[in-house]
C-alpha cells in the first residue's frame, strides 16, 4: 500500500538532509501529481542547502587560512552605528570554535530582525569568547566617529575573556600588538566578522529600544537613531537630547537639550 501524500510530506520534512536524495528517488517513481510536486519542492531544498554549504565554505576561508598558518584563537571584529544621529557606536569581537559553521550567518544588514536574533543566540552560545563595547554620543562628539569606531573595536578586543592571536577586522586596523587582517566588506566574506556584526547589531538595537522608552518622541525603536523623516520632525519639534550626536548634521541645529519625558 502506497504512503499518502501527507505521509510523504511529513517524512520529507522530518528527514535529515543526507537522507533526502534517497527518499526523493523513491518518490520520483510515484505518478501522482502530489508526489511530483513534493519532488520538485524538495529538489529545490537540496539545491538551496548545497548553495548554502558552498557559501559557508567560502566565508570560512580566511579563518581556515589563519588556522593552517598556526593560529589558535581567531577573532572577528566589526562595528555598527556609524551613521545614526543618536545613540552609541557599538563594536563586537567574537572568537568562534575552529571549523564552526552556522546556516544563514551573514552581514547583519542583510538579515531580518528575527533571523538576527536567532543567529545571535547561536553565536553567543557557541562562541569561545565574545565581547561588546559601546561608545556614547558625548565621546563620539569629542573624538569623531571614525576614532570612536576604532576605539570601540579596540576595547571590544581587549574585553575578550580569551586573548586572540589573530584579528579579522572589517575595513579597519586597531592599535594592538596582535596580528590583524583588514578585510573590505568583511562581514560578507568572513564568518567571524559576520558573527561580530550580528552581535554588535543586536546589542545596539536592543539598546536603542530601551532609549525609546526614555525618549519616546523620536521613534528610536524603529529608526535606531537614523535620520528618518519622523526622527527629523521630532528633532525640530522637541530639540536634541543628551543621546543625540551634536557633531552630526543637522543635530547641531537643534542643540537645546531636552530631558527624558
Residues annotated in a binding site for a divalent metal cation: 78-79, 170
Report the distance separating Cα 125 and Cα 75, nearest Å: 16
A 10 A CB-CB count for 48 gives: 10
Please provide the distance, in angstroms rounded to a whole number, between the alpha carbons at the two ends of the chain.
Answer: 70
A 10 A CB-CB count for 124 gives: 15
Per the listing, cell 589558535 goes with: 72
- Which helix or strand (DSSP H or E) is residue 88 part of? none
Strands 180-183 and 74-80: unpaired
CB distance 42 to 64 below 8 Å: no
- Between helix 191-214 and helix 113-126 the angle, nearest 10°, is 120
Report the distance separating Cα 29 and Cα 7, nearest Å: 16
- Which residues are known binding-site members? 78-79, 170
- Which helix or strand (DSSP H or E) is residue 86 part of? none
Q: Could you tell me the three cell numbers for 189?
A: 566574506
Q: Could you tell me the three cell numbers for 185?
A: 566588506
Amino acid at each position: 500500500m502506497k504512503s499518502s501524500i501527507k505521509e510523504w510530506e511529513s517524512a520529507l520534512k522530518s528527514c535529515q538532509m543526507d537522507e533526502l536524495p534517497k527518499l526523493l528517488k523513491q518518490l520520483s517513481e510515484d505518478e501522482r501529481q502530489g508526489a511530483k510536486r513534493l519532488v520538485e519542492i524538495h529538489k529545490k531544498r537540496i539545491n538551496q542547502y548545497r548553495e548554502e554549504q558552498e557559501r559557508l565554505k567560502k566565508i570560512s576561508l580566511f579563518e581556515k587560512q589563519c588556522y593552517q598558518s598556526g593560529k589558535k584563537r581567531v577573532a572577528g571584529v566589526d562595528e555598527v552605528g556609524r551613521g545614526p544621529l543618536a545613540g552609541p557606536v557599538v563594536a563586537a569581537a567574537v572568537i568562534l570554535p575552529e571549523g564552526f559553521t552556522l546556516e544563514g550567518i551573514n552581514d547583519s544588514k542583510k538579515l531580518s530582525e528575527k533571523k538576527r536574533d536567532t543567529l545571535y543566540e547561536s553565536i553567543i552560545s557557541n562562541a569561545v569568547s565574545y565581547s561588546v563595547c559601546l561608545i556614547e554620543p558625548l565621546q563620539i562628539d569629542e573624538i569623531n566617529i571614525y576614532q570612536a569606531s576604532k576605539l570601540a573595536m579596540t576595547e571590544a578586543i581587549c574585553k575578550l575573556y580569551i586573548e586572540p592571536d589573530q584579528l579579522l577586522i572589517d575595513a579597519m586596523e586597531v592599535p594592538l600588538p596582535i596580528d590583524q587582517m583588514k578585510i573590505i566588506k568583511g562581514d560578507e566574506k568572513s564568518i567571524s566578522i559576520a558573527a561580530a556584526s550580528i552581535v554588535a547589531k543586536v546589542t545596539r538595537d536592543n539598546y536603542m529600544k530601551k532609549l525609546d522608552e526614555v525618549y519616546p518622541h523620536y521613534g528610536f525603536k524603529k529608526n535606531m537613531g537614523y535620520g528618518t523623516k519622523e526622527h527629523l520632525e521630532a528633532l525640530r519639534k522637541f530639540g536634541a537630547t543628551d543621546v543625540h550626536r551634536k557633531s552630526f548634521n543637522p543635530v547641531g541645529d537643534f542643540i537645546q537639550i531636552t530631558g527624558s519625558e
